[in-house]
Homo-oligomer: A and B are copies of this chain.
Amino acid sequence: MKIGIIGTGAVGKTIASKLLELNHGVMMGTRNVSDKITSTAKDIYGNPPFNEWLKTNNKIKLGSFAEAAAFGDLIINATNGRNSVTALINAGAKNLAGKILVDIANPLDFSSGMPPTLLAGLNNTNSLGEEIQKTFPDTMVVKTLNTMWCGLMINPNLVEKGDHINFISGNNPEAKTKVKKLLNQFGWLDENIFDIGDITGARATESLLPIWLKVMGVTKNGAFNFKLVR
C-alpha cells in the first residue's frame, strides 16, 4: 500500500521504518522539505539529524505535507498534536478526501511545563481526533495507537508477548477494518484491538495521556502498556 505520513518526528520515523520493512511505499511529509534535508541539528532526544536517518532508510520519500497526502492511499497523522490541524490543512482537504486518515497524535500542551496537560478546547468534550474529523468530513478518521510509546506501536511483542490493549475508534466501520489489518501487520492480534465505537472514542484515548505520563514518570521507561482484565 502507498502510505503518506504527515510529520517527521520520532513517531513518524518509527512508523515509516516499520512500513518500509513491511514493503509498503512510504512518503513522509514535512513543512519545509529543503530545511528538513539540509538541517544538521539533532532532534530533541539527541538523535542524528533527519537527513542522516533518511540515508539509512533511503527508500522512504520525503515531500511537502501536500505531496505526502497526495502520495498516500492511506495517511497517518504523526505530527505534534498542537500542529496537527494546521499541518493537515496544509496537506490539503482534496488530497485527504475519500481516504483513511489514521490519527495517532495527542493534543498535548507543554506550555506550562511538565507534565503537559491536554490542549484547551481539545479535551473532555472534544478531542483532536474529532476536530480532525470535523475539519475533513470527506476523510475517514481512525484514532488508534495514541496511548503508548511509539516503540510499542509497531512492536507490541516487546512486552507481555503483545498481550495488551490498543483502542481503535472512528465513524466508518470499513475504515477501521482496514486499519486493523495494518495493525495486524505491526503485530497486534485482533483480540487486543479494542473497538470503542465512533470517533468520540478519541476523547477517551487521548484522556489516557495524563495517566500514561504519571506512570512513565515513575517507571522512567516507555515500554509499558495496559492490559484489559475481566
Contact = CB atoms under 8 A, between A and B. Distances in A.
A205 interface: yes
A195 interface: yes
A203 B212 CA distance: 12
Contact of A194 (B203, B215, B227, B229): B215
Given A167-B211, A204-B211, A211-B208, A227 B227 contact: yes
A207 B225 CA distance: 16
A205 B197 CA distance: 22
B229 A225 contact: yes
A213 interface: yes
Contacts of A131: none
B196 A218 contact: yes
Specify the main secondary structure of chain A where it touches its partner.
mixed
B204 A213 contact: yes
Interface in A175-230: 194-197, 201, 203-205, 207-211, 213-215, 217-219, 221, 223-230
A211 B218 contact: no
A124 interface: yes
Contact of A230 (B117, B124, B221): B221
A118 interface: yes
A201 B210 CA distance: 8
Contact of A211 (B195, B207, B215, B221): B207
Interface stretch (A25-33, A42-50, A97-105, A156-164): A156-164
Given A159-B230, A207-B211, 15 more contacts: A112-B125, A124-B210, A160-B229, A160-B230, A165-B226, A167-B211, A167-B214, A194-B218, A204-B211, A207-B209, A221-B230, A224-B229, A225-B228, A226-B228, A227-B227
Interface of A: 112, 117-118, 123-125, 159-160, 163-165, 167, 194-197, 201, 203-205, 207-211, 213-215, 217-219, 221, 223-230
